[in-house]
Amino acid sequence: MIEKIQSLRIVPVVAIESADDAGPLADALAGGGLPIAEITLRTDAGLAAISSLADRAGFLVGAGTVHSVDQAKQVADAGAKFVVAPGFNPKTVQWCLDNAMPIFPGVSSPTDLETAMEFGLKIVKFFPAEQIGGARMLKALQGPYGDMRFIPTGGIGLDNLSSYLALPSVVACGGSWMVKPELLRDGKFDEVKRLTSEAVALASK
């Protein structure tokens, strides 16, 4: 799974308002070259959307904005293949490790990274990336934390994607610019596919 995420280089971060949009969304993302989505629990439809995509052939679905052990259990039962959290909740991380659920908790400081290392984690979410120093901050962290790898998320788009992907410590970048809620709400899945293809082309350079 990690190899697949690394090969794709981008993880679309989706706040979906209707589970009925999950199928067309997955078609658009896969058609644009990204058969992957982090469906967040920011909306009531998140859990149902994860469930509807869990058994979709060739598509990797994970859960984002997971704040607690209970939520981790819910997304695991729904079929999520990985968990992403905005911060570092030790109880949630431990539950995921105990239940063989890949988790990428959010970190924003060296102290957070020390905690991640204590739990034996090798890959973490760097969030909110742009607001806490962006690619320059990540480059600075590579020195003392050379064994850690990152999935930066937050404020990333076409204008700065390349600066993150150029760093050897970056596995992939999380982003929502190709899956904005209004695009899904208005059924503009052709535009989602176009923006996804554009992002994939840039990431491949």
Spatial distance between the Cα atoms of 15 and 18, rounded to a whole number of angstroms: 9
With H, G, I as helix, E, B as strand and everything else as coil, classify residue 103.
Answer: strand
Spatial distance between the Cα atoms of 152 and 126, rounded to a whole number of angstroms: 4
With H, G, I as helix, E, B as strand and everything else as coil, classify residue 58.
Answer: coil
H or E segment at 72? helix 69-78
H or E segment at 39? strand 36-40
- In whole angstroms, what separates CA 67 from the centre of its chain? 15
* Residue 160: exposure state from Cβ atoms within 10 A (0-12, 13-18, ≥19): middle
Catalytic residue list: 38, 125
Amino acid found at 144: P
With H, G, I as helix, E, B as strand and everything else as coil, classify residue 165.
Answer: helix
Establish how many alpha carbons lie within 13 A of residue 189's alpha carbon, considering only the half-sphere containing its beta carbon. 14
